[in-house]
Structure 1
């Protein structure tokens, strides 16, 4: 059977009367769809638009300024209606947020296949994408917005936590003493082994940021993970955002400790915390393109500098001189001039970041394309500092290690507590994982459906998935578990400014790998699979794929989980073997992955 679905092509506007003003995913073990695969997809779509989760739910925007869950409200309604009617042997196709067809497949096939914002090479530019978007023909899906597996700020939190732990290790600080590392100093900025002031007399673990100060910007859906990730690693952090409401939201949700009234107060609070060796996060309202240069000019000692503003899309970055209240109107009135001014501001922002690096701070791009945008804005040293993946994360990718996330469809937080304990029991020797699970259980505020994330590698993820499935089958959990991941993963993305920057063999821009990942996950029995273009770095700069599985307690689910959760991270090991990484070769040999050599 083949159905063609007709939904309005217009871009998302106001919420129609037929859609509730507040969307919240159903909870519990009773489904309205005909399979848990379809029910899970529906609930996760709705969860993406829960006001606790989404940046601008009325506009269908989940995060990243423009990342939508569906193209229009009519398309959203059609998706939900179709998922409820979908047979267990049918597959729904979604083209850039619009449902376009239902096809008879089989029970092992995904219930949903999604493609978002994919453009042919010569047409893959922001102006052409916006022209097509204005015609209602496409939408920007970011990574997990348009693939319905965003779990709020926690979704990026552990990756951010792992990154800052790696930053701490890279500083090479001595374990004791009052001023540590090769760059010990009380001057305007520190060396790569930054001085930690007078409060670090006790032993400091290698992955602890105690006695350091991090400067960053962007406290929205993704960037909002940064302050908690730094404090969970023991450091002090100052985070800048142009929108005070974002900072206040992070305080309310426990991701940010406090918001200062002005820059002077913010600097006083974080420098005192750094010198005392205390973990503290402080937000301040302002434009990073102005505040970063100001802090550099003042000679404030900063140890670590990064950024997670929505720089991938110039229309989502506020230029100097534009008020937040005028942002959308000015961007819409003259997008080309707004882009020019945004890029000039990004150039000032990045120039200051390079200035901190020149003074000795550890500086890295956090995957938002700000270096390329600053270069387009006229700054020729924009790529003086590295991206976070080649600087800190690639050794993990070579092992197939990456973000493994799960969601309790029951809505019961106790289900997450039980699965946390199960994961800890499965990997008793992994001290870093235990530390994360303990801290997350104590400090992470759930947004929408209760969820958790941790980083697991090749031949590890399926053990957790199968255990969850057993817990559902036995009744230990009160409902099925959805298992997915970020698209920021070892083998699911080609992104030369982020995940595949500086590959050993120069294959940064080869996009065959994420396509193979999506095809393999489809063949292995994933519940839904997606292929996107653009992600967190912008149109023309990445191709990436996602997969989601459902542990519903059945024998069929167990068979699927055993394949998908081995094969999916296996493509990461395969990809890094092919690129020449020795550690990936070792992992493949140790864990039984066949990679033909020629």
Structure 2
């Protein structure tokens, strides 16, 4: 079947598959395409302009049918959005293994990817879309919130109150920006070319209001800034043009960033072109469109650098804008840092990242129960408790209810045990899917974002995400995805995602514990191996055995479930 349709995940505690592992995969795949979650569900596009959940509707239907028949000792292989085979494995093995857009390095160019995609041989999975774990702005909001909190701590005394942030992009990822800024107390001007995205963000409570034009927008945000009042304002316009005008007017901007879709120049909106003109040029002369888009991105980044020169805090949020501007001829494009380098890497040394749990029941009450349990479990962690209280107040449900929480090595396993026990004891109404952002300490090689400027020069080494995927598969993850190109674009990243299902059973307890320990543990190892002192210290504190650093297991043993010392098996 092809064409428009409405897809929503089943809710409740009744199975439509042969087990909760398969049911979780089915529900999260469908949730990716929920009209409250996906950007263009009719086209199978989840977010990021071209990140798909499946290669075609025929493939989507085949995946759904296969998951409903899949046994608890079988594994489905999915090649770039197409279900290609089922093999007999065992109950600890993943029920699904996914690989998206993996192209041999010499051919891993955007042009070659497009040729293969046009031939129906591959698809772009973005990041969480292609591994069936996207949860709308519920997922990226905390990451965005924590980034702006780090900006506030670095430059503005711990709050964005009394500051103005100018940014762009209100799509699946950028749509979290306005709420993240106002949750930190700031005023935000958010530029977006697509009226539908502005309308959607207002409907979902992520954006406060929309301005009529730039003059109106500036009057609103500057008044809010002067009154130290939180406010987010959307403006339908082109970011490159607006930023140039802001520079020309000498508007006092405290923070500037961007989350437009820039990883693929064909997705970038060129100033002065109507949507119809742009669509025609994309269809008939991709090369010319790319050249014009990169020239516009060069102007876009030139304006950001002008703000940087005036003392504005400027950073890239990992959408590939700087490298595309560099290709467009602007030689200062890398003068400002990516957000990982600027704010997040110290957290990665302790594998702190965005753990998430998704209520497969579809009942927001289950998330409330888990929130309460997490507030008890992490009562001594003020950053966790602060976020959970804020999230309960501000985060609206999109599709299946979910929560993210920044947790590190050891903490994620604790959270997983709490959740599995809640399922076991019937305190939540159905099993819960546990996962994380692809943007994590050990799951990605991306020299323009997560692994930018590693101290040992290992930015482009992609062994780490591959090892992470293999480790998760070996540890009992319910499904694992390995993907190419997400975030910063084809040829610029390799990353992995995983999900493990807490269904309350003793086997799930073991699988959850292994995965939620080993997955972040690979991030500690990745940064310790690179020479980050805090990661080396943290690995030793946690008893992680790294033969490259220690010839023998640590005296206290390898940290495992319930603190049991690691002992070699014969």
| TM-score (normalizing by structure 2) | 0.95
Any residues of structure 2 matched to 1:4-403 within 5 Å, and which?
Answer: 16=2, 21-171=5-155, 173=156, 206-403=157-354
8 Å contact from structure 1 (residues 109, 525) kept in 2: yes
- Deviation of 1:244 after TM superposition, in Å, equals 1.2
What is the number of residues matched between the two proteins? 549
Larger mean Cα displacement after TM superposition, 396-405 or 20-29: 20-29
Deviation for aligned residue 1:325: 4.2
CA distance in 2, matches of 1:320, 1:95: 37
Q: Distance in 2 between matches of 1:74 and 1:104?
A: 24
User: Which residue matches 2:530?
Assistant: 579
CA contact (8 A) 1:389 1:498 kept: yes
Counterpart-to-counterpart distance in 2, 1:142 and 1:307: 18
The superposition leaves residues 288-313 of structure 1 with CA deviations (integer Å, 9 ceiling, x where unpaired) of 11000100110100000000000001
Q: What is aligned with 1:195? A: none
Matched position secondary structure for 2:373: helix
Provide the secondary structure at the position in 2 that maps to 1:544. Answer: strand
Q: What is the correspondence of 1:485-496 to structure 2 with a 5 Å cutoff?
A: 485-496=436-447
What SS does structure 2 have at the residue aligned with 1:383?
coil
* SS of structure 2 residue aligned to 1:382: coil
Instruction: Give 1:68 deviation, angstroms.
Output: 0.1
Structure 1 residue 333: deviation in Å? 1.8
1:437 alignment partner in structure 2: 388
Q: Could you tell me which residue of structure 2 aligns to residue 3 of structure 1?
A: none
Aligned mates of 1:569, 1:351 — CA distance in 2: 37
Distance of 1:164 and 1:534 partners within structure 2? 25
Once residues 557 and 221 of structure 1 are traced to their aligned partners in structure 2, the CA distance between those partners, rounded to angstroms, is 31
Structure 1 SS opposite 2:428: coil
Counterparts of 1:447 and 1:337, CA distance in 2? 38
Q: How does 1:425-504 map to 2 (within 5 A)?
A: 425-504=376-455
> How far is the alpha carbon of 1:328 from its aligned partner?
3.0
- Give per-residue Cα distances to partners, 1:431-464, cap 9 Å, x unaligned: 1111111111111111101111111000110111
Alignment of 1:497-516 (within 5 A): 497-516=448-467
Distance 1:218 1:333 in 2: 26
How far 1:430 sits from its partner (Å)? 1.2
Which residue of structure 2 aligns with residue 556 of structure 1?
Answer: 507
CA contact (8 A) 1:494 1:513 kept: yes
- Pairwise CA distance, 1:597: 3.1
| C-alpha separation in 2, matches of 1:328 and 1:43 | 33
Conserved 8 A contact 1:532-1:544: yes
Equivalent in the alignment of 2:488: 537
How many angstroms apart in 2 are the aligned matches of 1:322 and 1:331? 12
The answer as to whether partners of 1:69 and 1:97 remain within 8 angstroms in 2 is yes
Q: Distance in 2 between matches of 1:239 and 1:514?
A: 33
CA distance in 1, matches of 2:172, 2:498: 21
Equivalent in the alignment of 1:419 = 370
Hey, what's the Cα distance between the residues in 1 that align with 2:280 and 2:97?
A: 35
Q: Which runs of 5+ in 2 are unaligned?
A: 550-570
Structure 1 equivalent of residue 560 of structure 2: none
Give the TM-score of the pair, scaled to structure 1. 0.91
Alpha-carbon deviation of 1:207?
2.6
The answer for unaligned runs of 5 or more in structure 1 is 1-14, 174-205
Distance 1:287 1:433 in 2: 37
Contact residue 218 and residue 241 of structure 1 kept, 8 A: yes
CA distance in 2, matches of 1:21, 1:367: 32
Please give the alpha-carbon distance, in whole angstroms, between the structure 2 residues aligned to 1:228 and 1:439.
Answer: 11
Q: Which runs of 4+ in 1 moved over 2 A?
A: 324-330
1-structure distance, mates of 2:375, 2:530: 33
Deviation string for 1:400-449 (max 9, x for gaps)?
A: 01010111011110100111111111111111111111111111111101
C-alpha separation in 2, matches of 1:136 and 1:329: 21
Query: Separation in 1 of the partners of 2:415 and 2:278?
Result: 44
Which residue is 2:558 aligned to? Answer: none
The answer to whether the 8 Å contact 1:242/1:324 transfers is no
Q: CA contact under 8 A between 1:243 and 1:324: conserved in structure 2? A: no
- Describe the SS at the equivalent of 1:50: coil
C-alpha displacement of 1:330: 2.5
The two structures, once aligned, show a CA RMSD in angstroms of 0.9
